[in-house]
């Protein structure tokens, strides 16, 4: 069901437990049941209705908050999802309900020292779309850096090292996917990645002698951070998609 994009694995488990899933017209009651390629999976409308009520939040994460569970005394970014922090520019038309702040999971990392667009969702399909192993959704970052040689960075930073940032680095024993990396201005790089290993950009920069002094995620797929102020959030609009 997850591979077909019908639901997340957790949702599928819940639906099967509630008797909302049928294979070739027969209710499936056992988790992990095998389904052949020519068999037909159908889902009760009640499951679709429950899925439609799940929300996705776009948050401008400030420095000092972790993306997921609280750690080392730092609060998770989800604590900012309160009625008073909702951006006045939210045009989604969705009415706030306290239940929207429960069960939110981050769809991608943004470390404690980084800022920008963080997606928090109750919808497992969106989480899979953004962070599944086969995801190719682009994430765009603006990264302020320092280098140990004086002068204008685009002039003094070696071209071969910039080429290495684009393709050829390894992290944790894995070759990184090709990335788009270019100079945005005298001390800022623009990165576009299709993967998200832990502290990936910081570690990539360290590997070529750059020190990251500021990192901001400004886009995920077709969804941009835009004018969303730091510490505020909005709903993903019904007509938006990553």
Among the listed ranges 20-34, 104-118, 143-157, 192-206, which one has the minimum average pLDDT value? 20-34
| Residue 22 reports pLDDT greater than 80 | yes
> How many domains does the chain divide into?
3
Do 32 and 59 belong to one domain?
no
What's the rounded Cα separation, in Å, for the pair 201 and 152? 21
With respect to residue 242, please indicate whether it lies within any of the assigned structural domains. Answer: no
Give pLDDT tens digits for 123-176.
888 888 898 878 899 999 999 999 999 889 999 999 999 999 999 999 999 999
With respect to residue 4, please indicate whether it lies within any of the assigned structural domains. Answer: no
Mean of the per-residue pLDDT values of the chain: 91
With respect to residue 241, please indicate whether it lies within any of the assigned structural domains. Answer: no
Q: Angle formed by the axes of helices 9-17 and 124-131, to 10°?
A: 150
DSSP 8-state symbol, 198: T
**DSSP β-bridge partners for residue 55:** none
Which residue range(s) make up the domain with 71? 54-135+222-235
Q: Angle formed by the axes of helices 9-17 and 45-52, to 10°?
A: 140
First-to-last alpha carbon distance for the chain, in angstroms, is 21
Q: What is the CATH number of the domain that holds 227?
A: 3.30.70.580
What's the rounded Cα separation, in Å, for the pair 121 and 101? 9
With respect to residue 240, please indicate whether it lies within any of the assigned structural domains. Answer: no
Do 131 and 71 belong to one domain?
yes
3-class DSSP state of 158: coil
Do 125 and 230 belong to one domain?
yes
For the stretch 186-206, what's the b/e string if a residue is b when 16 or more beta carbons lie within 10 angstroms of its beta carbon? ebebebebebbeebbbbebbe
Q: Provide the pLDDT for residue 242.
A: 94
Q: Among the options 111, 155, 187, 227, which is catalytic? A: 111
Do 39 and 72 belong to one domain?
no
pTM metric for this prediction: 0.80
Q: Provide the pLDDT for residue 51.
A: 59
Residues 6+ apart with CB under 8 A from 129: 107, 135, 137, 242
- Of the pLDDT bands very low, low, confident and very high (cuts 50, 70, 90), residue 107 is very high
With respect to residue 227, please indicate whether it lies within any of the assigned structural domains. Answer: yes
Q: Provide the pLDDT for residue 209.
A: 96
Do 167 and 208 belong to one domain?
yes
Could you confirm whether 227 is annotated as catalytic? no
| Residue 211 reports pLDDT greater than 90 | yes
Residues 6+ apart with CB under 8 A from 137: 129, 130, 194, 220, 221, 242
């Amino acid at each position: 069901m997850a591979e077909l994009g019908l639901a997340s694995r957790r949702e599928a488990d819940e639906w099967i437990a509630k008797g909302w899933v049928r294979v070739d017209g027969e209710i499936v009651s056992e988790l992990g049941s095998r389904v052949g390629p020519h068999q037909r999976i159908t889902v009760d409308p009640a499951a679709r209705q429950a899925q439609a009520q799940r929300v996705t939040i776009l948050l401008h994460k400030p420095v000092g908050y972790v993306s997921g569970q609280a750690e080392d005394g730092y609060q998770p970014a989800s604590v900012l999802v309160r009625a008073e922090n909702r951006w006045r520019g939210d045009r989604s038309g969705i009415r706030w309900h306290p239940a929207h702040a429960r069960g939110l999971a981050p769809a991608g990392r943004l470390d404690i020292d980084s800022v920008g667009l963080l997606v928090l969702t109750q919808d497992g399909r969106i989480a899979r779309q953004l962070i599944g192993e086969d995801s190719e959704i682009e994430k765009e970052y603006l990264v302020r850096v320092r280098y140990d040689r004086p002068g204008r960075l685009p002039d003094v930073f070696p071209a071969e090292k910039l080429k290495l940032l684009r393709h050829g680095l390894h992290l944790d024993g894995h070759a990184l996917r090709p990335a788009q990396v270019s100079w945005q201005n005298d001390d800022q790089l623009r990165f576009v990645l299709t993967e998200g290993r832990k502290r990936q950009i910081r570690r990539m920069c360290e590997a070529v002698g750059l020190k990251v002094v500021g990192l901001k995620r400004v886009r995920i797929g077709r969804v941009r951070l835009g004018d969303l102020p730091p510490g505020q959030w909005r709903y993903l609009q019904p007509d938006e998609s990553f």
